[in-house]
Structure 1
Amino acid sequence: MRLYLMTERWLQMKEMELHWLNIKKREMRKVIFIWMLCCGLVACNREDKETHASFKDMEWFVVEDSDDELDHLIYEFYVSTGIPLFYTDTIRSRTEINEWGREYTLYQILNPNYMIEGMANLWTFKKSEDREKLKKGVEFFRDQVYPKLPEGYRSPCYLLVDKLYQKEFYQDEVGARKGLNTTVIGKISEMDEMSEEDQKRLAWEVVAEELYDTISVNYEKELDAFFQVSFLLCNKKDVYSDLITKFKNNIPNYKAAVHGSATDPREAGFLRWWQSNWYTPEYKDDVCGYLIEVLLGDDDGFATRNAGFSGCLKKYDMMKDIAIELGLRN
């Protein structure tokens, strides 16, 4: 009985402590609110002569007109669409004064490796110096890419380069890659030699890059089933971004080829091997690869080319369903 009374008394004391603590919290919120209100009133009462431009809202991606034929072409496209195109990765700069009175310069640099969490260090590129080919690159974007870009799926700007590679060591060439502040488009040096079909594929590769984030967020269950096709084919829990030789015995009809790679990635439900044919694709590579094929719209051609590879046909149909739901296919 005595223990019960002591426990009851202790609980009452704790309740009282919590009660006064809540009161103090409410009083503290009032003090903070009044302080913020006073700060706001003081700021409002400052005379205009005390205000000054901070330049913090500088528009980095503005395109200005020029007498240069290439730059004027880019400007015309920018005025008509609002989309800036660049061919150099350092696009603007501004000089400011730090708290010690010293000047420093801020540069806006376009890089597909910039991510919210830091630098990915996955992509390298070679800038173009050929202005005639860059003109054709701008025309390619204007005539082939822009009409295919869905509204709301556009990068802040686009960087046109000669060559774009996945990973510095393996040098797998790709057509486009999306970063935080830009989407880089490669193969500008090949514009003269590219067929109409190749240009169409490159244009859809740009679109696939723009769509990937939305698909990965909104179609999580569908992508889980998509990835599962290759998991089951290889009898392995995860087969992405993996060294092929680590599980080559799991791949159906595996045949050793040069440097230990498998002769046909379609046996595992992939459209290609990556990193000099040593690795399976990353998740994004696989999704975008199939999305490009679906957006090209040649269903019969894909089925004919991949007859006998049930995994590829199944993943194609899955990606087509997503594209139809997004309004990109019928």
Structure 2
Amino acid sequence: MMAVNKIQIISSLFFLLVLSVVSCKKEAPLQPGDPDKNYLVVKDNPSDPVDHAIFKFYQETSVPVFYNDTIAREHVGDSAGIPVYFYHKLATNYTLLGRQNGLSYQLIAEKEWVLPVLPLLKAEVLLQVPAGIPVHSILLVKTLQIRGIPGSDNAGFSSIADKPYPALNTFIIPLVNPDTMTEAGRKNYVASILAKMASKKLLLEHLTQIKSNFYGITINSFPGQRIYGERYNVISPGGTIVPQEYGFIPASYSLSLMNRKIMPYAQDDLLTFLEAAFTYDTTAAFDADYTTYPLILQKFRAARTLLKTIGFRFAD
């Protein structure tokens, strides 16, 4: 029994000795990354045609373009001899207004797909964006859905269902191939991007003016009635609703709840008219298409005025 106890004591002492040696061999703590480093800066890769084209785009526009939401990998230490990395991602699910839980998107499968759209973004989009609207970066994606409401048509005036989305430090844009688009399709695509960029700034900085000079055109024309987001059968029980008579463009957003049609929501109405403002070259051309609907004509002019307030320019 004494021999067994002696063996147990020796074994325990040996175990403690080994444990103390192992514990003394401490690993270096993980190091935080450089908080001042700007990971939105694009670096050249001359051996890669896509990355090189994106670098040239960045040089010419100062706007970085990404085809992946993970934009950098930073080595922050080692664990048991295995390197540990921190991955820097674009803040796609956040805006200045908070988290966007209804956002989903699919990354593109082949980065070569971005090449045809770069000239369009440079010449037809960014050259029109006023200096007061910062474009921190652009993330090109295969598909993008901002909200999913069954039975809804979110195409708006531009007929672009997958709207671009202004996130916190990037602007998410569904990818297209301009070479396969009609001239009208290109114009609608550009209008959908510019309208989203403009609406973000307008809603953040000019909401009072929007409520008074834009939403008010419809609201004040029907005092005592709730129009925005209201069901057709509540506004006109048993009757027929003609959205144009309420100041809504026919291609405006239409939604249905429990198989009942409802009027557009306020922000959707604004976005639709902003898209129209960028689609039509002149006010006269718009008037020719909607001459019998005075509220629509007023709201188109109000939308153009709002856009001019934040620096956009139009031929007329």
Q: Is the 8 A contact 2:128 2:312 kept in 1?
A: no
- Distance in 2, matches of 1:300 and 1:252, equals 33
Q: Return the match for 2:246 from 251, 262, 268.
A: 268
> Gaps spanning 5+ residues in structure 1: where?
1-51, 255-263
Change (3 A) 1:281 1:319: same
Higher helix share: 1
Deviations 1:147-169 (A, max 9, x none): 11112312210111222223134
Q: Deviations over 1:215-236 (max 9, x none)?
A: 3323623532311222245555
Q: What does 1:135-214 correspond to in 2, within 5 Å?
A: 135-170=115-150, 172=154, 173-186=161-174, 188-189=175-176, 191-214=178-201
Please tell me whether residue 286 in structure 1 is matched to residue 265 in structure 2: no
User: Secondary structure in 1 aligned to 2:236?
Assistant: helix
2:247 alignment partner AA: G
**Other structure's SS at 2:144 match:** strand
TM-score by length of 1: 0.68
- Counting only pairs closer than 5 Å after superposition, residues 63-78 of structure 1 correspond to structure 2 as 63-66=42-45, 67-78=47-58
| Higher RCO (C-alpha 8 Å, min separation 6) | 2
Residues 129 and 273 (structure 1 numbering): CA distance in 2 closer, same or farther, change over 3 Å? same
SS in 2 for 1:159: strand
What's the CA shift string for 1:235-259, capped at 9, x where partnerless? 555543x2534634179841xxxxx
CA 1:279–1:76: 2 relative to 1, 3 Å: farther
Identity %: 20
Aligned CA distance change for structure 1 residues 250 and 141 (closer, same or farther; 3 Å): farther
Q: Is 1:321 aligned to residue 305 of structure 2? A: yes
Tell me, in whole angstroms, the C-alpha distance in 2 between the residues paired with 1:276 and 1:88.
34
Matches within 5 A, 1:1-330: 55-66=34-45, 67-96=47-76, 105-110=85-90, 112-116=92-96, 118-170=98-150, 172=154, 173-186=161-174, 188-189=175-176, 191-216=178-203, 217-218=205-206, 220-233=208-221, 235=223, 238-240=226-228, 242=229, 244-245=231-232, 247-249=234-236, 253-254=240-241, 264-271=242-249, 272-275=252-255, 278-296=261-279, 297-325=281-309, 326-329=311-314, 330=316
Q: Alpha carbons of 1:169 and 1:222: their partners in 2 closer, same or farther (altered >3 Å)? A: closer
TM-score, normalisation: structure 2: 0.71
Q: CA RMSD in A?
A: 3.2
Alignment length (residue pairs): 265
Q: Give the whole-Å Cα distance in 1 for the aligned partners of 2:77 and 2:222.
A: 59
- Cα 1:292–1:116 change in 2 (3 A) is closer
Deviation by residue 1:171-214 (Cα, 9 ceiling, x = unmatched): 7323422111111111x245343222322232233222222243
